[in-house]
A and B are shown apart, each in its own frame.
Chain A
Amino acid sequence: MKIELRNVGVRFLSGVQATRGVDLTVGAGEFVAIVGPSGCGKSTVLNAIASLIPESEAVVEGDIYLDGTDRRKLSSRELNLGYVFQRDCLLPWRTIGQNVATGLEIRGVPAAKQKARIAELLEMTGLTEFADHFPYQVSGGMRQRVALIRTLAYSPDVILMDEPFGALDAHTRMVLHAELIRIWERTHNTIMFVTHDLAEAITLAQRVIVFSRRPGCIRAEHPIDIPYPRDPFQVRGTEEFSLLETRIWQTLRGEFDTTLAKGRVP
């Protein structure tokens, strides 16, 4: 599914302008990462796409089209998108298997079909033996993996990811990077991945979008020409990677510097 943002801004009723004038097109099957300083409104953009911003809290300006259809004309079911948050957001009273089934259950998929799909996904991520465990009984890395396959289970057209691996240790994160790349190469979902970690963005995405500080807008765009299949453990050591990192950091650094300077000077 293609996502088009036209002059999108989000203004909170408290007076804060989170983002302003965002123009962005993400092609069907494209993997895009958005980086920017914290509080720049990159998550807010995802929330706007997912229609998760209540009218009682903020005004969404501009237009968002999904495959050419205005977002406002689509119900959340028709949107058929997946959203992975920084917190795993698993339902604690459901077992791992039941959590993975959530989206299928919501869509009224027959139980037998659910079962087969869940088994397949658990198998793919090595979680089969934990199907009957409750979330508190497994590690943070496993929980985030469950959150990911819960989203994949109902084959969403778009997957929005908001710093999904931010709370994990470096090693687990790399393992999940490898898994995400592998999955994306197979399914080719459209993915928008928000992070503040530049290396993570370069490792994963085909294109990195740099956001300015608040009110966030697009400062720069960098294509990442590293070919897939990428191995996150290898990619980071390459010269190509360091060059990209340096180049993107040039545009990103300005946003951090001014934020810090502003903080220091009263």
Chain B
Amino acid sequence: MSLATPTTAAASAEGFAMERSRARRSDGRMRLLRNRLLAIAVLLLAWEAAGGGFGERFAFVNTIVVAPPSLALRELIDYALSGLLLSDIQSTFSAAFLGLALGFAGGAVMGIIFGYWKAFAETFEPIVFALNSLPRVAIAPLLLMWLGLGLASKVAVSFFSVFFVVFFNAYMGTRAVDPDLVRAVTAIGATKFQVTRMVVMPSVASWIFAAMRTAISYALTSTITAEFVGSTAGLGYRLQVAAGLLDTKRVFAILLVLMVLGGLLLEINKLVENWVLRWRPKSQLQS
């Protein structure tokens, strides 16, 4: 750096400082990652020991009740190799997703109709509110009776639990559209249809998206529950059977699958949501 003028020297000094602070930040991130992995490892080791994975000496719980992670993992591999895992995932998740999609579309459309059409909303409000106060899974036995043990009944249960969450958000969202924005766009010369497209839809979409996270958990929960109640396939069914046979290693294997897939879905949803709602100021609460 023989040619360094004072300004470039200053600039490079600044660059060094930035470099250093970036390095420090990445140090912090690495430390956090290490601590997290450590915590998980300790938990797994304790569990392994408790389940008798390191010999009977350390086992302090009944191994029938708590299968060690190593056994659960081996069980998971067997389960996957048999081809059953994939078909179970398929039947559970296709039911959950179909219910989610239908409930989402139905709830959004109905909510917007309610928001736009006051007389309609006032007429049907008591019915909707009454249905909503029903614990969603309580209607599972009825739906099973009507629709049988197959896919249809699971989809229906998932649909009902998703529908109301989305419906209420769409309804409130339609009513909460900022009247000043509507006025402003009308003053510019927008037709009713243009106001709907430019103001109402984006505004409602942000409300509906807020419901998405809850809707995903609801769809999964209700499908699994419906499979408990009556089914011939699916993760919930397999879980129920395994628990009945005190096959804990299989129970843990299935729980692991549900945890990973559920978490993955919520993460994907978060990414999509962050992109779609990128016009919103970042929340001050999440830093």
| Alpha-carbon distance between A105 and B236 when the two chains are bound, in angstroms | 51
Residue A85 lies at the interface, judged by CB distance under 8 Å to chain B: yes
A103–B188 CB distance below 8 A: yes
B280–A77 CB distance below 8 A: no
8 A Cβ contacts from A99-124 to B: 102-103, 105-107
Q: Select one of B184, B279, B280 contacting A83, CB under 8 A.
A: B184
A134–B188 CB distance below 8 A: no
Given A85-B180, A91-B199, A102 and B185 touching (CB < 8 A)?
yes
Residue A249 lies at the interface, judged by CB distance under 8 Å to chain B: no
B202–A136 CB distance below 8 A: no
Q: Select one of A76, A82, A151 contacting B186, CB under 8 A.
A: A76
Interface centre among B184, B187, B191, B281 (most CB of A within 10 A): B187
Shortest CB-to-CB span from A156 to chain B, Å, is 9
Residue B189 lies at the interface, judged by CB distance under 8 Å to chain A: yes
Shortest CB-to-CB span from B68 to chain A, Å, is 51
B186–A52 CB distance below 8 A: yes
| Alpha-carbon distance between A79 and B183 when the two chains are bound, in angstroms | 15
Size class of the contact patch on chain B: 20 to 34
Residues on A with beta carbons closer than 8 Å to the beta carbon of B278: 134
Residue count of chain A within 8 Å CB distance of chain B: 29
| Alpha-carbon distance between A81 and B184 when the two chains are bound, in angstroms | 11
Per-residue interface assignment for chain A, residues 178 to 209, with 1 indicating a CB less than 8 Å from any chain B CB and 0 otherwise = 00000000000000000000000000000000
Residues on A with beta carbons closer than 8 Å to the beta carbon of B184: 83, 85, 89
Q: Identify whether the interface residues of B are mostly helix, strand, loop, or mixed.
A: helix
Q: Looking across the interface, which residue of chain B has its beta carbon closest to that of A77?
A: B189
A92–B180 CB distance below 8 A: no
B180–A107 CB distance below 8 A: no
B198–A92 CB distance below 8 A: no
Shortest CB-to-CB span from B7 to chain A, Å, is 24
Given A87-B180, A102-B198, A106-B190, A92 and B185 touching (CB < 8 A)?
no
Per-residue interface assignment for chain B, residues 194 to 232, with 1 indicating a CB less than 8 Å from any chain A CB and 0 otherwise = 100011001100100000000000000000000000000
Residue A93 lies at the interface, judged by CB distance under 8 Å to chain B: yes
A136–B280 CB distance below 8 A: yes
Residue A50 lies at the interface, judged by CB distance under 8 Å to chain B: yes
Q: Looking across the interface, which residue of chain A has its beta carbon closest to that of B206?
A: A93
Q: Looking across the interface, which residue of chain A has its beta carbon closest to that of B182?
A: A89
Residues on A with beta carbons closer than 8 Å to the beta carbon of B279: 92-95, 134-136
Residue B181 lies at the interface, judged by CB distance under 8 Å to chain A: yes
Residues on A with beta carbons closer than 8 Å to the beta carbon of B280: 92, 136
Q: Looking across the interface, which residue of chain A has its beta carbon closest to that of B203?
A: A93
8 A Cβ contacts from A40-92 to B: 50, 52, 76-77, 79-83, 85, 87, 89, 91-92
B189–A80 CB distance below 8 A: yes
B188–A83 CB distance below 8 A: yes
Residues on A with beta carbons closer than 8 Å to the beta carbon of B199: 91
| Alpha-carbon distance between A160 and B279 when the two chains are bound, in angstroms | 28
Residues on A with beta carbons closer than 8 Å to the beta carbon of B191: 77, 106
Given A91-B202, A102-B198, A134-B279, A76 and B180 touching (CB < 8 A)?
no
18 pairs across A/B with beta carbons < 8 Å? A52-B186, A76-B187, A80-B189, A82-B187, A85-B183, A89-B180, A89-B181, A89-B184, A91-B202, A92-B279, A95-B279, A103-B188, A106-B185, A106-B190, A106-B191, A106-B194, A134-B279, A136-B281
Known A-B contacts: A136-B280, A136-B281. Give 17 more (CB < 8 A): A50-B187, A52-B183, A52-B187, A76-B186, A76-B187, A82-B188, A83-B188, A89-B184, A91-B185, A91-B199, A91-B202, A93-B202, A103-B188, A106-B185, A106-B188, A107-B189, A160-B187
State the B residues within 8 Å of A (CB). 180-181, 183-191, 194, 198-199, 202-203, 206, 278-281
State the A residues within 8 Å of B (CB). 50, 52, 76-77, 79-83, 85, 87, 89, 91-95, 102-103, 105-107, 134-136, 150-151, 154, 160
